[in-house]
Amino acid sequence: MVFRVSGLLFDIVKTQYPWIEVIAEDENGYYHSQYPLQEYHYTQLILSRRAGIPFLNGCQEMPWVKKLTIYLNVVPEQSLNEIKYLSGLEDLGIDAVDMDDLEVLCKIGLRDIPIKKLRISVPELIDVKGLQKITKMFDLEKITAFQLHLWKVDTYPENFSSGIQKLLSALVNVTSLSIICQNIDFGKVLESVKPNSLHTLHLKIVQVGNDIHTFQLENILNYQEHSLQQFYLSNKKPQGGGRFYGLQEFERIYKKETNPLIPNQQPVGIFEIRRMIDAGKFQKLNRVLINESCYFIKRLSNGMIHLVPCNSLIPDNP
C-alpha cells in the first residue's frame, strides 16, 4: 500500500497492520508520529526519531522481528544498540545521509544476524573505501536480495566501478539485485555476479532524460541468460518527484496502452528484448520494464511468443 506522504493515516496502517507492506512516496524521518509507537509483538519495525524498538519486557531477544527499516540520520545512537536483540532479523533497510551514518552500525555486530535481504540507500556519494566497509559490516554470503541505491549526481571516482564489482563478487548467493546510481559500465560490473544466479535484476540510472539507445542490453544481461526472470532498466525521473522503489518496482501496477507492438514502433529497449527471446535466449524471462514500459512475456505451447502490456489480459500480436 502506497501513501503520497507519511502522516497519521500512514502511521495507523503501518502500526496496526504490520503484515501489510506500507510505504510513502515522501516518508520523512523527522515526522512526529501522533499515533502510539510500535508494539512488542510486531514482526516489522522501524527506527526513526520517535519510533524505537519496543521495551523488551525482560526478554533478551526478539526473534519474531523479521524486518527493520532504519532512518539513520535521525536515530539516537543508543537506540541502535538494541538491534542486536533482533536475532531473527532477515530483512534490513537502511536510509542514511552519508558513509559516516553507516559507520555507527559497525559496533553492533550485524554480521552475526541472519540478514537475507539488505537495502542501503544513501543520497551522498559512497567512495570505494565506503563500499569496502559494507563488505566488512555484513555477512554478504547470507544475502539473497541486495539493493544499493546511490542518489548523488556528482562525478564518481575513476575506480568506483571496480569497487562495485568487488562488492558484488562477495554476494555469492544473491538472486535479486537492485542498483540505483549513475550510468556506469553495467555490463562490466555485472561480470562479477555469479553467472546464471539472478532471478530479478533492477537497474535505475540517476540522470536526466529518457534515451537509453546507448545501452546494449545483451551485454548487460549476458551472464544471466539462463536464470533471469524479471528485468528492469530505466533512467526516467519519477513522476511528481516521487521516490524510487528498487525491487518494489516489480510489485507496482503500471498503466500501459494495449496497442499491438508494431516492430518499428516498439518502445526503446523492448525491440532488443524481443529480438533476444525470438532467438531462443532468456527462456525464463517473463517480465520486463524498460523506462516504465511494462510487459509480460507469454510463451505459448505452439511456440508463439507474445509481449503483453502488464495491465492487459489479452495477448498482443506477435
CATH number of the domain that residue 10 is part of: 3.80.10
Q: 228 and 296 share a domain?
A: no
Residue 216 within a domain: yes
Q: What pTM was computed for the model?
A: 0.85
The upper half-sphere exposure of residue 242, i.e. CA atoms within 13 Å in the direction of its Cβ, equals 15
Q: 104 and 77 share a domain?
A: yes
Residue 250 within a domain: no
Distances (CA, A) of 194 to 30, 93, 146, 189, 257: 40, 24, 14, 12, 37
pLDDT tens, 68-80? 989 887 888 788 8
* Distance from C-alpha of 191 to C-alpha of 305, rounded to nearest angstrom: 29
Residue 41 within a domain: yes
List CB contacts of 116: < 8 A, sequence separation 6 or more: 90, 91, 142, 143, 144, 145
Mean pLDDT of the chain: 80
Residue 251 within a domain: no
How many CB atoms lie under 10 A from the CB of residue 63?
12
Binning the chain into helix, strand and coil, the percentages to the nearest 5 are 30, 20, 50
Q: 159 and 109 share a domain?
A: yes
Contact indicator for 256, 309 with CB cutoff of 8 Å: yes
Its domain, for residue 71, covers 2-244
pLDDT for residue 15 is more than 80: no
* Distance from C-alpha of 86 to C-alpha of 265, rounded to nearest angstrom: 52
Q: 88 and 14 share a domain?
A: yes
Q: 181 and 262 share a domain?
A: no
Q: 213 and 290 share a domain?
A: no
Residue 182 within a domain: yes
List CB contacts of 158: < 8 A, sequence separation 6 or more: none
pLDDT tens, 242-296? 567 799 888 876 655 545 555 555 666 788 888 899 899 999 999 999 887 888 9
Q: 223 and 262 share a domain?
A: no
* Distance from C-alpha of 187 to C-alpha of 221, rounded to nearest angstrom: 7
* Distance from C-alpha of 117 to C-alpha of 176, rounded to nearest angstrom: 9
Q: Which residue has the cell 501496477?
A: 253
Q: 220 and 290 share a domain?
A: no
* Distance from C-alpha of 10 to C-alpha of 12, rounded to nearest angstrom: 6
Q: Report the amino acid identity of residue 33.
A: S
Q: 318 and 215 share a domain?
A: no
* Distance from C-alpha of 292 to C-alpha of 267, rounded to nearest angstrom: 10
* Distance from C-alpha of 258 to C-alpha of 314, rounded to nearest angstrom: 8
Show which of 209, 244, 279 is a domain's final residue. 244
pLDDT for residue 173 is more than 90: yes
Q: Which has more pLDDT, 5 or 160? A: 160
Show which of 212, 244, 276 is a domain's final residue. 244
Residue 97 within a domain: yes
pLDDT tens, 110-157? 898 999 999 999 887 788 888 888 998 999 999 999 999 987 767 777
Using a CB cutoff of 8 Å and minimum separation of 24, what contacts does 301-309 make? 305/277, 305/278, 307/261, 307/270, 307/273, 307/274, 309/256, 309/257, 309/258
Show which of 244, 278, 293 is a domain's final residue. 244
% residues pLDDT > 70 (the chain): 74
Q: 211 and 261 share a domain?
A: no
* Distance from C-alpha of 180 to C-alpha of 220, rounded to nearest angstrom: 15
Find the range with the poorest average confidence among 1-10, 107-116, 132-141, 160-169.
Answer: 1-10
Residue 77 within a domain: yes
Residue 14 within a domain: yes
Q: How far is CA 277 from the centre of its chain?
A: 25
Domain count of the fold of the chain: 2
* Distance from C-alpha of 309 to C-alpha of 284, rounded to nearest angstrom: 18
DSSP string, 87-103: TT--EEEEE-SSHHHHH
